[in-house]
Structure 1
Amino acid sequence: MADIDGSELLDLVQYLDNAEHEAASKTYPVVERHAEALRDQWRKNAKETARKHGKRYPKTITTEQVPAAEAIEWTVGPESMMPQGGMGPGFEHGSRNQPPHWDGARAAVAEEPKFYKSLDEIVRSLL
């Protein structure tokens, strides 16, 4: 007859359950911080490219948490209901009258490696 000790497996399950909660609590402020950094860089880019024609446009770029039970999500971008916020797609992707500015895309490309580095630090802290 063989004895099988499952206590280590139960300890691992308990550890992983605690790690899930710890990861969530550490991740929320990181996602929020990087969403705000993305917003700020997007606004800075927009100020440089929108000129007088879109002087109100940069202030329409906001962050908002997306309510989700199983995820930590933030939306970053122009609010179409604000003055000049509806001009976001034209500024970002261009139109027949102007080339694309790619303000948001450039901000995202700059912020992405910083965001992944922060997430990597969280994961390493849980190991």
Structure 2
Amino acid sequence: MAELDASELLAISEYVEDGARRAAEGAYPLVREHALALQKRWQDNARKTAGRHGKHYPRSITSEQIYAEDAAIWEIGPDRARKQGSMGEGFEYGGPYQPPHLDGQRAAVATEPEFNAAVDAFARTLL
């Protein structure tokens, strides 16, 4: 009669399941923290570049969680429903009489390395 010992396989399975659970629990606060940092940077940049004609524009920049069962997704940018939110495209990309301000792009470039480092550090805790 042959005996098969699957205890190590079961231990690996439990370890992987625990890692997946910890990843799911940790992803939301990590992404939220950096989404809010991106929003604040974008608003700060917009305050410096919008001038008097765009004094309400920085407050139109919001962050919102997008529902997903298997991902942590946030959307950051001007909300058209808010005062001067519809001017976001013109401020960001410019127009015939205004150069692009690139407030959102500069905020994203500044936030990206911090976000990537946080994801890397978090992933290492799962190993």
TM-score bracket, normalised by the shorter chain, equals over 0.9
1:110, 1:5 → 2: CA distance?
52
Counterpart for residue 38 of structure 1: 38
1:39-78, aligned counterparts within 5 Å? 39-78=39-78
Task: Supply the distance in 2 between the matched residues of 1:116 and 1:12 (Cα, whole angstroms).
Answer: 28
- Once the two structures are TM-superposed, the CA of residue 10 in structure 1 deviates from its matched residue by 2.1
Q: What SS does structure 1 have at the residue aligned with 2:65?
A: strand
* Structure 2 CA distance for partners of 1:100 and 1:2, relative to 1, 3 Å: farther
Could you report, residue by residue, the CA deviation over 1:68-125 in whole angstroms, capped at 9, with x for unpaired residues?
Answer: 1110001100001111000001100111111111000000000000001111111111
Q: Which residue does the alignment assign to 1:114?
A: 114
Structure 1 unmatched ranges of 5 or more: none
Q: Aligned to 2:77, what secondary structure does the other structure show?
A: strand
Contiguous gaps of at least 5 residues in structure 2 = none
TM-score (norm 2): 0.94
Cα shift at 1:11: 1.4
Find the aligned partners of 1:66 and 1:107 in 2 and give their Cα distance: 20
Secondary structure, in 3 states, of the residue corresponding to 1:122?
helix
RMSD: 1.4
SS in 2 for 1:23: helix
Q: Aligned partners of 1:16, 1:75: CA distance in 2, in Å?
A: 30
Aligned with 2:53: secondary structure?
helix
Counterpart Cα distance in 1 of 2:5 and 2:94? 64
Letter in 2 for 1:121: A
Q: Which residue of 2 aligns with 1:105?
A: 105
